[in-house]
Amino acid sequence: MKRIITYGTFDLLHYGHINLLRRAKAEGDYLIVALSTNDFNSEKGKNCYFSYEERKKLLESIRYVDLVIPEENWDQKIRDIQLYQIDKFVMGNDWEGKFDYLRDYCEVIYLDRTPEISTSKIKKELNIFS
């Protein structure tokens, strides 16, 4: 069984997120999503519209997602890869090159983002957290 992991905030879930999750799942058999906690988002300077618990419920309802775990800090990725026996680490290409160091542990894949949509764009258009 090929295990895939991806990380993110997934606030204001939209079709770009779904595209990423669908394409990540297509890379293997079991998709784990490490979801940024509220505290970690605060540390990153991000304000979320939905709480961690609400975002987790939304992700768990998506058929491509097999397991949602908390992302609590930048440094947990190697531990997660080892703990969950990950074969492929998948992120959007806006992170291209940032996680190449993980290639010592698993395959690293950067997928093209859905260009016309982003949570930042939604928040800007709706004047949320601006």
Cβ burial of 76 (10 Å; 0-12, 13-18, 19+) is middle
Question: Token pair for residue 3?
Answer: 């295990």
Catalytic residue among 2, 44, 121, 124: 44
DSSP-assigned letter for residue 92: E
DSSP-assigned letter for residue 113: P
Cβ burial of 10 (10 Å; 0-12, 13-18, 19+) is buried
46 assigned to active site: yes
44 assigned to active site: yes
Q: Which residues are catalytic?
A: 44, 46
